[in-house]
Amino acid sequence: MHDERRRIEERAERLHNQRIKPALYAATVPLTVEAWQAPGEPVPFEAASAASYEPFAMDTPWGPPWGTTWFRMRGQVPAEWAGRRVEAVIDLGFVGDWPGNQAEALVHLTDGTPLKAVNPLNQYVPIANPAAGGEEIHYLVEAASNPDILANDFAGPTHLGDVLTAGDKPLYTFRRADLAVLDEEVFHLDLDLQVLRELMVHLGEHEPRRHEILHALDRAMDVLDLDDVPGSAAAVREVLAPVLARPAHASAHTISGVGHAHIDSAWLWPIRETKRKTSRTFSNVTALADEYEEFIFACSQAQQYEWVRDNYPQVWERIKKSVAKGQWAPVGGMWVESDGNLPGGEAIARQLIHGKRFFIEHFGIETKGVWLPDSFGYNAAYPQLAKLAGNDWFLTQKISWNQTNKFPHHTFWWEGIDGTRIFTHFPPVDTYNARFSGEEMDRAVRNYAEKGAGTRSLAPFGWGDGGGGPTREIMERARRLADLEGSPKVVVEHPDTFFAKAREEYPDAPVWNGELYLELHRATYTSQARTKQGNRRSEHLLREAELWATTAALHASGYSYPYEKLDRLWKTVLLHQFHDILPGSSIAWVHREAEAEYARVAGELEALTAEAIAALGGGGARVFNTSPYARTEVVRTSEGAPAYVHVPASGSAPLAAAEPPQPVTVDGRVLDNGLVRVEVAEDGTLSSVFDLRARREVLAERGNLLRLHTDLPNYWDAWDIDKHYKNRYTDLLEAEAVTVTEADPLVASIRVERSFGKGSKITQTITLRAGSPRIDFATDIDWHEAEKILKAGFPVDVRAPHSSAEIQFGHIQRPTHTNTSWEAARFEVSGHRWVHIAEPGYGVAVINDSTYGHDVSRTVREDGGTTTRVSLSLVRAPRVPDPEADQGRHHFVYSLLPGASIEDAVAEGYALNLPLRVADAAGAPEPVVSVDGEGVTVEAVKLADDASGDVVVRLYESRGGRGQGVLRTGFPLAGAQVTDLLERRLEDAEVADGGVPVTLRPFQILTLRLRRG
């Protein structure tokens, strides 16, 4: 047989695109359109309904950036269309085919009922099937003119990312608003051809099935009447029917499809726009569920449900009905799809608590899995936290984006730092926005790493990132691919069903231990430093407010625990941990609002803490310690004078000065407190840090070296830092001033001032206090660089085989060598309050109050010694998507702690992030809880969420070894329970001698519910 593939393929392509697709609508009549431009921010339907509208013609520009234009559309279905399927078709002037970040609209009936959304891939609104003829159409269409931030493929900066800088030039040109008759036979022929053509081109040239389809297409095109496509469509479909009816191979891979619409809670649009995106997408989804009874839609992020409930009650009622019918599946059980690295341990626990509880309360459904397809790596505490929240499975997809190494599994057991395992799946289709294309189906089968052991994978389908969701075209593809030779079999089903089947067929799946590190988007540990600082401060202020509110509720008459305020503030912080807000990868508008929200949260939490302490009664100055560790350190009085005090863990003490073991002395640029001696060089770096206790020099080279690197990644500016940044840098060695600013016996400081680059300035105050080896670097930066990253390096004379970095509820060890490509790829990593390096007998910690990104490397010197360098990533200057990212002022503190054990790093990490608080209070009561024993650390103290008055305490083992101790209470204890994260009883806890004996495995998290006597 002659090879005529090219002729037939080109023929089928042309006729499909140029004859069949244009024939989808058999007849059209234009709608009458009027317009009203809403001033400023979006308005409710009632305001738009009462507005004055002006005539509007097609091909007219409309829509300033971030504006809202309401269109009134009227028409009547012609009588001759009776018995046909009639739709409204609206084209706002869409650009490209991505529905997420451009013009999109929500269509309302005149009574305000949201009907359906329109976007580039979903332009129709159903009217009647069949039509009676004569139906009156009257819509109000709320159209958002959001700018296309992705235009130019992220090649350059744009000021369209903030309403304050975007201008008012119209962005779109309205193209179409018609009533139309959908030719259903042509519609189905279009889908038949799509599926067969895509299947054909992804089959091997040696496959008989490919040639069978090819010649069926050729025969079908012979039947197509180019002058009457609608009239010949049924005959064409008859020719194709036999090849569409051929069943899949018995061993064909099974793809479990579930509808999905990834809606970033903010990204290239502000939060206010996400609230509208949810209404558009969820309106489309509930409409699609009415049309396809087999349809199931998986939707995460309780925050988005709450927005719809509060702002679009009619859509909310439709969601509830879809949930009741089993077509809508709440998943994920988190408040938002948060970043997987940066939120603190307690914050991730609250993500799970608030998310799961929302779905239980509103739908009677307890979600069983963590749904995080798009976060940028996942910390190794997740398996334990997920299981403690009652989850059985974990899903993500993003690790497939790895820059260097291909992850070896798609279905596996993920083991966390404490040994907990959770069944985990990465969809081999490599997208959470699948549409069941031939390319996707082929990729899923080729990619699937578990061949021979597993037979199924998951595919979330539907347009996403900015929403959109599944379409009728995608559902039609799924129907055709349910059992089709040459393709994997597609079945639409609930994710819980998929995971149950996958686990049943592959119970002995391989195990991956430790973090799921994404070898990409490493700069998200650093970008938008003020957003990250706001998150860190908020997490610690929430801890303070809960502890002292609990103390006041137990001991102050008339004080009421602020349940509702704390709930609201927690949810605000959780929202801003979304995986494009906290990582710093959103537009300027998002981060501008985030900074304002964090300032508001801080103000409210400071007031709640002050109110709780004041409720304890006045009686003199006291020092309050929120840290779970007792502290003896220097504190500032209300007058600013230093005092040396001892304060118990989670308790308070009178502001009574104690004698330090040795005063601090200042000799030129040398600070000495009897524990360490710090020498500051003329250039402002540290020339020496000598540990007087161990009698050894800590530094191998100059320390606190500020290094300015060129930082232009290959792509995704705010997200990525590529390895080549290391190759070009400038060391900041010119100090304008090095000045002693304080020389008190309790505290001494040296200030270093520098100017560099494009008008940037750094002022650092290096401080040593009595009784502590910790050296603090309070840093003020006025930052005006572009495409640069600033790092602070500490080259330590320690041969450390690995570094330890704090993560949620523990720490993780990473090799300092680069023997393998996996280790070399971790050239930038995340950590929380501290990084620790050690050789047997001696360790050093670097501690911070708001920094997450760092790198640890080592070299061997000519003298045979090893230098291990810890560098903190302080601030970046990407220009996309926010051209002014990180510009302006920053203030933060980081510290060097010589001679530190892991226990010291943990304690000082808490101390730096939870400063002692001085306030007027009476003789304060005993701490709510205290722990006798080693390694058991209190992470949270609060009243139970059910307002029962029970006290809830969350503990964890923090050293990486066995923890054993007794939890004691500052109130009469009547009983105790071990609970899950949602404070539901798992078992009774032993109470002995008025306390609760506690034994923890390494890094175990334990939640105790304490009943008051």
CA distance 341 to 376: 8
Q: pLDDT by residue (tens digit) across 704-745?
A: 999 999 999 999 999 999 999 999 999 999 999 999 999 999
Q: Which residues are catalytic?
A: 374
- Sheet hosting strand 866-876, strand order edge to edge: 729-731, 705-710, 788-796, 866-876, 853-860, 829-830
Please give the pLDDT value at position 3: 82
Question: Contact 702/686 with Cβ under 8 angstroms?
Answer: yes
Q: What is the mean pLDDT of residues 887-903?
A: 98
Q: pLDDT by residue (tens digit) across 9-57?
A: 999 999 999 999 999 999 999 999 999 999 999 999 999 999 999 999 9
pLDDT band at residue 436 under the 50/70/90 scheme: very high
Q: pLDDT by residue (tens digit) across 67-107?
A: 999 999 999 999 999 999 999 999 999 998 888 889 999 99
Q: pLDDT by residue (tens digit) across 761-796?
A: 999 999 999 999 999 999 999 999 999 999 999 999
Question: Contact 694/801 with Cβ under 8 angstroms?
Answer: no
Concatenate the DSSP letters of all residues of 793-824 into one string: EEEES---SEEEEEETTEEEEEESS--SHHHH
CA distance 294 to 325: 11
CA distance 790 to 798: 24
> What single letter denotes the amino acid at residue 364?
G
Tokens of 235: 């005959």
Please give the pLDDT value at position 657: 79
Please give the pLDDT value at position 391: 98
Please give the pLDDT value at position 97: 81
Question: Contact 217/229 with Cβ under 8 angstroms?
Answer: no
CA distances from 1006 to 554, 980, 998 (A): 22, 8, 9
Q: What is the mean pLDDT of residues 793-817?
A: 98
Per residue, the 3-state secondary structure of 168-225, as one string, reads CCCCEECCEEEEEEECHHHHHHHHHHHHHHHHHHCCCCCCHHHHHHHHHHHHHHHHCC
Q: pLDDT by residue (tens digit) across 120-168?
A: 999 999 999 999 999 999 999 999 999 999 877 777 899 999 999 999 9
Q: What is the mean pLDDT of residues 687-705?
A: 98
Question: Contact 142/70 with Cβ under 8 angstroms?
Answer: yes
Average of per-residue pLDDT values in the chain: 97
CA distance 25 to 38: 33
Please give the pLDDT value at position 637: 87
pLDDT for 954 beyond 80: yes
CA distance 755 to 736: 7
Question: Contact 691/676 with Cβ under 8 angstroms?
Answer: yes
Which 8-state DSSP code applies to residue 726? G
Concatenate the DSSP letters of all residues of 251-268 into one string: T--EEEEEE---B-SSSS
Look-up: residue for tokens 């009462």? 50
CA distance 140 to 105: 10
pLDDT for 656 beyond 90: no
pLDDT for 356 beyond 80: yes
Peptide linkage before 44 cis (omega within 30 of 0): no
Look-up: residue for tokens 């910690």? 845
- What value does the CA radius of gyration of the chain take, rounded to a whole number of Å? 31
Q: pLDDT by residue (tens digit) across 490-549?
A: 999 999 999 999 999 999 999 999 999 999 999 999 999 999 999 999 999 999 999 999
Q: What angle do CA 382, 386, 389 make, to 5 degrees?
A: 145
Residues whose CB falls within 8 Å of the CB of residue 10, separated by 6 or more in sequence, listed in order: none
Please give the pLDDT value at position 639: 85
Kindly state the percentage of the chain with pLDDT values over 70.
100
Total length of the chain: 1013
Closest CA to 349 of 494, 598, 543: 543
CA dihedral 248, 249, 250, 255 (to 10 degrees): -60
Q: pLDDT by residue (tens digit) across 756-768?
A: 999 999 999 999 9
CA distance 375 to 311: 27
Distance of CA 818 to the CA centre of its chain: 29
pLDDT for 924 beyond 80: no
Look-up: residue for tokens 């003829």? 133
Helix (H, G, I), strand (E, B) or coil at 502: helix
Distance of CA 892 to the CA centre of its chain: 23
Closest CA to 805 of 849, 837, 840, 777: 837
pLDDT for 268 beyond 90: yes
pLDDT for 896 beyond 80: yes
